[in-house]
Amino acid sequence: MLEKIARPDEIRRWPGDMPVRHRYTPGVAGEAFFSALRERGVLLGSHCAHCSYTYVPARLFCERCFSELSPDTEVGPSGELVSFTIVFRGIEGEPLDRPQTLGAVRLDGADTVLIHRVLEPGEEPIEIGERLEVLVKPESERAGSILDIEGFRRSD
Amino acid sequence: MARRVAVVGAGMTKFVRRAQETGKELAWEASREALASCELSLDRVDAVCLTSAPDAFDGVHMKGEYLSDGAGAFGRPFIRTYVGGGSGVFTAIQAYYTVASGMADVVLAVAEEKMSSTQPHPQGAFLTIFDNVLERPLGPNLLWIFALEMNRYMTVHGLDKRDIASVAVKNKRNAADHPAALLGQADITVEDVLASETLAWPVQRLDVSPISDGAVALVVASEEAAKEISSDPVWIQGVGWNLDTAYWTSRDLVFPEYVANAARAAYDMAGVTEPRKQIHVAEPYDPFDYKELHHLEGLLLFDRGKAPEAARDGVLDRTGDLPSCPSGGLLGVGNPIAAAGLMKIAELFWQLRGEAGARQVPGTPERGVAQAWGDLMQVGTVVVMGRDGGPPTTATRLETPPTATPARSLSDAEFRAATGAVDDAIGAEYEWDAGVAVGRFLDGLRVGRIMGRVCRNCGRVLVPPRMFCERCFRGTDAWVQVENTGVVQTFSICHVSWDMQPLEEPQLPAVIAIDGSDGGFLHMLGEVAPDDARVGMAVEAVWKPVGERTGSILDIAFFKPREGTG
């Protein structure tokens, strides 16, 4: 039943797309998180007293016990590096001018980790377990975005 | 032997045009409400069944996993199913068999939909349900499918549009009593519906349910668990689901046989032998007003073509002989697709427990049926629910009817200004191959021939052709040239594009049965005034000049009325 295609350039193909784009709104807890970041430069989490567990960014509910949570627990700005990677190529496979280090950091007071760039790791190799801190952009440059966080840098 | 299964709790959010809550926040609101309604904590839940419509609505790949925490799935067996518009009722079916099989004693069944994230219009996510090679070059609009089906249903049975519009009136009036409703309207009239904008004739604006955000959840339990959790469980007595052919233009557009097949299976399991006597309340799927009628006939509750007059005569009203969509349905409460289907099961639960408040149908209904429809407009999902302990005892009734948990509706300005919002496009682009059968078919069009494939087992000539017969499940046998003429099975006069922008000139999509073949074929009518188009009209293909043909469905410019056939 299969047809033998002798000349691949003769295969007829119909180009097309799925014409959708999206506006992602961050929801009830997400808006509280981004407002606090923009206005006060702080990172808000939600603490579940029942499970003794603190989520960052803030959440409306505890996924473990379903309790309603308040986005009112400040965490960080320092924390512990849980893991990291060094990226040498971009999303299209192109080599990057400078390798980019991404870190997963458990901020002080939080149980979950936050992913962001690790800034200027320098010559000394970065290590899991190291202390890092969040660097937030100056207030005038903050827009209410995850990019209001510049990244993690080594604590002094 | 399957175990008996009951619904013991239900909860839902308000259905709103654009919720501030994320999809998972909506799912959590409905889920915790369902658990609270039967005083259950999350740790009693053994497994979670979730449904939500296309990932492309939310723009989140693997949407089931994304929503899972809001559905209580952390650390539990979890599955997400998706059968298009049929999803909401199907997830109740899935919860049923998860419990009936003994895999779990308590299941949370959750349905969520957030359509408002999709820009410019959620229809963009639906366009690829049309055949990408044979139908999408024609510039289809999802409304075409409904308009074409509605026109044929009306024409074959000689129906009055007023009778069909009375369904939209009934449902929007019913919804005025629903705390979750988006479009409840106590004073709407048939004239309002008939005066609303024509989108794709015969479909008008108020014939259609609204795009919405919302979530619904149920707690489903085994007999043993149900009796422990609740003094008033409502039993899932029968379930059924069934698929029609994937070639929508080849379906019987007048009678939904797939709904009837699903209903027969569910009635058989429930021991229902005379549905018109034994079903006391119905929640058929009503994304469009005619669909409720179409589906009531598919559910074998009315003779074919007779549901519209029942609607006109008040039989379907809350106080009528067969209350239909007492909730207000999709037309009134709203249509967050997957959630809307599960809302119908929740409504039966409340109605059968006597807890529906102002929506309560009179008497003591003992059995109801809920149904939804979807996939490529081809799946029927049916659930029969009942109480076998006689009428509800007043002691178990809630003091006040269940209320919807808040979902906060964002205004346009709030939506645009939401702190932390991100705009993005998935940017998914494709190249679709014609394949073997359609490739040869397109070669034929280039030389002015319409080619079909013969199945010698069932005797059908298939146009568009396929290399296998989906009914006989065997290879088709030979190529055959069919006529360049055909008969219009149904048509629409469409005034809007897929993203609901007005068209300068109306389009005339039609399903055409090509002479010498079996089944229909989507194309456009031309050289005919919209008012002169008729079902049953004889037409012929108008070909592009030979030099302009490319081996595409557009090598046929359109079909025009045959001369001398009147």
Interface predicted TM-score (ipTM) of this complex, two decimals: 0.88
**A109 φψ region: left (φ > 0), alpha (ψ -120 to 50), beta (else):** left
**Contact criterion met (CB below 8 Å) for B342 and B252:** no
| Residues contacting A135, CB < 8 A, separation 6+ | A119, A149, A150, A151, A152, A153
Tokens of B548: 């302009």
* Residue B168: closest CA among B307, B329, B304, B395: B329
| Residues contacting B343, CB < 8 A, separation 6+ | B12, B15, B88, B111, B180, B214, B216, B327, B333
- Across the beta sheet with A73-75, what order do the strands follow? A53-55, A43-48, A73-75
Nearest to B25 among A3, A19, A27 (CB): A27
Distance CA B245, CA B201 (A): 25
User: Contact A17/B428, CB-based, under 8 Å?
Assistant: yes
Chain A residues inside the 8 Å CB shell of B475: 1
Chain B residues inside the 8 Å CB shell of A13: 431-434
Q: Report pLDDT for B400.
A: 53
Tell me which of B25, B419, B474, B499 to substitute to probe the interface with A (most A C-beta atoms closer than 10 Å).
B419
Q: Report pLDDT for B396.
A: 46
Alpha helices per DSSP H over chain A: 27-40
Q: Report pLDDT for B366.
A: 94
Domains and CATH numbers, chain A: 25-154 (2.40.50.140)
Distance CA B200, CA B197 (A): 9
Residue A118 reports pLDDT greater than 60: yes
| Residues contacting A7, CB < 8 A, separation 6+ | none
Give the residue from chain A lying closest to B67, CA to CA. Answer: A63
Residues in chain B predicted with pLDDT less than 50, given as ranges, are 391, 394-399
| Sign of the Cα pseudo-torsion (B74, B76, B81, B85, in order) | negative
Q: What integer best gives the mean pLDDT of chain A? A: 91
Q: What is the 3-state secondary structure (H, E, C) of B400-424?
A: CCCCCECCCECCHHHHHHCCCCEEE
User: Contact B22/A3, CB-based, under 8 Å?
Assistant: no
Report the 10 Å Cβ neighbour count for A100. Answer: 15
Chain B residues inside the 8 Å CB shell of A22: 58-59, 117-119, 423-426
Domains and CATH numbers, chain B: 5-116+204-387 (3.40.47.10), 436-561 (no CATH)
Point out which residues pair with A102 in neighbouring strands: A85, A117
Distances (CA, A) of B547 to A113, B446, B543, B544, B550: 63, 9, 11, 8, 8
Q: Report pLDDT for B520.
A: 87
DSSP, collapsed to helix, strand or coil, labels residue A23 as strand
Higher pLDDT, B433 or A6: B433
Q: Is the pTM of this model over 0.80?
A: yes
User: Contact A25/B20, CB-based, under 8 Å?
Assistant: yes
Percent of chain A exceeding pLDDT 90 equals 78
Q: Report pLDDT for B395.
A: 42
Q: Report pLDDT for B402.
A: 65
Distance CA B208, CA B192 (A): 13
| Residues contacting A103, CB < 8 A, separation 6+ | A81, A83, A84, A115, A116, A117, A118, A126, A132, A152
Pairing of β A21-24 and β B106-114: unpaired
Per residue in B320-356, pLDDT tens? 999 999 999 999 999 999 999 999 999 999 999 999 9
